Structure 1
Amino acid sequence: MDQTNVQSLVEQVLSEYHHGGRNGLTIPIAVSARHVHLSQAHVEALFGAGYQLTHKADLSQPGQFAAEETVIIAGPKGCLERVRILGPARGESQVEISRTDAFKLGLNPPLRLSGDIKGSSPVTVIGPKGSVHLSQGLIIAQNHIHMTPEDAAAFNVEHGQCVKVKVKSERPITFENVLIRVSDRYKLEMHIDTDEGNAALISTRGEGILIPSHTPGVIHS
């Protein structure tokens, strides 16, 4: 293939990505605000013995919901009030915040995939009936894309792969090292935090163009 044909092919591929990706496929993007996942033991420590979280609204991922209950997150320099709990209860408690939130708390949590809390930052969670000090569990969540196996086949990506996503907005930016998570329990959606949403001028929801790469990621269940 001569240089002219190579350049023509490159321009065609870039044009496809610019106008919605190959096959016209785009990624829905959701801004995930600060939130808490609690173990059942910690639910009871904060709200009382035998307490069960109250369903407020379904989330986009099947089986997940926003609870009516909120808590206070406390650090050495300040607090974050009315932080929403997401249900159902998990095996381990975890708090996900933005970098801006971390400055207010006076803490330095690592950037991690949700569920990867080993060695992460300590934090205190305060409820109406008590408080819990987590020796680890505070993280800044790494952006990622939930996909079904059918979605992964359509986008020609696989579980654990890292890709780029170009946000379609008034301030288009490209996120790199976005991790693909594939499960038949998922619904197609990319999750970013509020700092990332503000940078791209997305308040709650948007969409982006997936740009494949072959960079492996690290998946933590």
Structure 2
Amino acid sequence: MMSQKTLPIALSNRHIHLSQGDIETLFGEGYELTKLKDLSQPGQYACEEKVDVVGPKNTIKGVRVLGPARNKTQIEVSIADSFILGVQPPVRDSGDLAGSPGVKIIGPKGEVELPEGVIVAARHIHMHTSDAENFGVVDKQRVHVRTKGERAVVFENVLVRAHETYALEMHVDVDEGNAAGLKNGDLVELVII
């Protein structure tokens, strides 16, 4: 039996989530992030602050900080970014940082040598628990997602993240989105086989 539902997709560019300790090292003691704009997920926002990320090979300047502060610092890059930096990050779910490569982070007031924390974020769908019920899926289930258009693809192994605070949206990185000819807000189909 096959069921299909549509949902919006968003392309995620490189960004960094910082711990409060790293925020203070990079921007100064007691520093609080400055909200630039809200993101689609409730409580999440892009900040005015940017940092430079230094890998063994090259530096990527102006990486956007996302708020609020997290327990651990995490940098999400695309595979193309990883070539620039000279690191080999694993494809991982957010927060799964064990064994991932580290880099140096440079802010206006200081630097952080991150021992681990660079990942390529695994494609995933955020959905409210009521959306999960409507779609007939559960938290941590893996599904397929079909796109439309000239470069249509089927994304396999897409993680469902269902929670009462999430808003419905699929996230892929810019490499995946560009390869499939997608732009923010395009509708895609969740397929349960």
TM-score by length of 1: 0.85
- How far the C-alpha of 1:83 sits from its partner, in A, is 0.7
Query: Which string of whole-angstrom CA distances, capped at 9 and with x for unpartnered residues, describes residues 32-59 of structure 1?
Result: 1000000011001001111100010000
Query: Which string of whole-angstrom CA distances, capped at 9 and with x for unpartnered residues, describes residues 175-210 of structure 1?
Result: 000000110010000000010011111243322111
Question: Which residues of 2 match residues 41-80 of structure 1 at below 5 A?
Answer: 41-80=21-60
Report % sequence identity. Answer: 51
What SS is found at the alignment partner of 1:37?
Answer: strand
1:106 corresponding residue in structure 2: 86
Question: Which residues of 2 match residues 40-189 of structure 1 at below 5 A?
Answer: 40-189=20-169
Q: Which runs of 5+ in 1 are unaligned?
A: 1-9, 214-221
Question: Which residues of 2 match residues 208-219 of structure 1 at below 5 A?
Answer: 208-213=188-193
What SS is found at the alignment partner of 1:56?
Answer: strand
Computing the radius of gyration over CA atoms, which structure comes out larger, 1 or 2?
Answer: 1
Query: Which string of whole-angstrom CA distances, capped at 9 and with x for unpartnered residues, describes residues 81-101 of structure 1?
Result: 111000000111000000000
Alignment RMSD (CA, Å) = 1.2
Aligned residues: 193
TM-score by length of 2: 0.97
User: Partners of 1:193 and 1:159 in 2: how far apart?
Assistant: 21
User: Partners of 2:175 and 2:57 in 1: how far apart?
Assistant: 20
Q: Deviating runs (4+, > 3 A) in structure 1?
A: none
> Is 2:8 aligned against 1:28?
yes
1:216 corresponding residue in structure 2: none
What SS is found at the alignment partner of 2:102?
Answer: strand
- How far the C-alpha of 1:168 sits from its partner, in A, is 2.1
Range moving further from structure 2, 160-169 or 90-99: 160-169
Which residue type is aligned with residue 206 of structure 1?
D
Match of 1:193 among 173, 181, 184: 173
User: Partners of 1:38 and 1:188 in 2: how far apart?
Assistant: 24
What SS is found at the alignment partner of 1:186?
Answer: coil
Query: Which string of whole-angstrom CA distances, capped at 9 and with x for unpartnered residues, describes residues 159-185 of structure 1?
Result: 111000001233111100000011001
* Larger RCO (CA within 8 A; separation ≥ 6): 2
Which residue type is aligned with residue 144 of structure 2?
K
Cα contact 1:166–1:211 (8 A) shared by 2: yes
Which residue type is aligned with residue 95 of structure 2?
G
- How far the C-alpha of 1:124 sits from its partner, in A, is 1.1
- How far the C-alpha of 1:153 sits from its partner, in A, is 0.9
- How far the C-alpha of 1:212 sits from its partner, in A, is 1.0
What SS is found at the alignment partner of 1:101?
Answer: helix
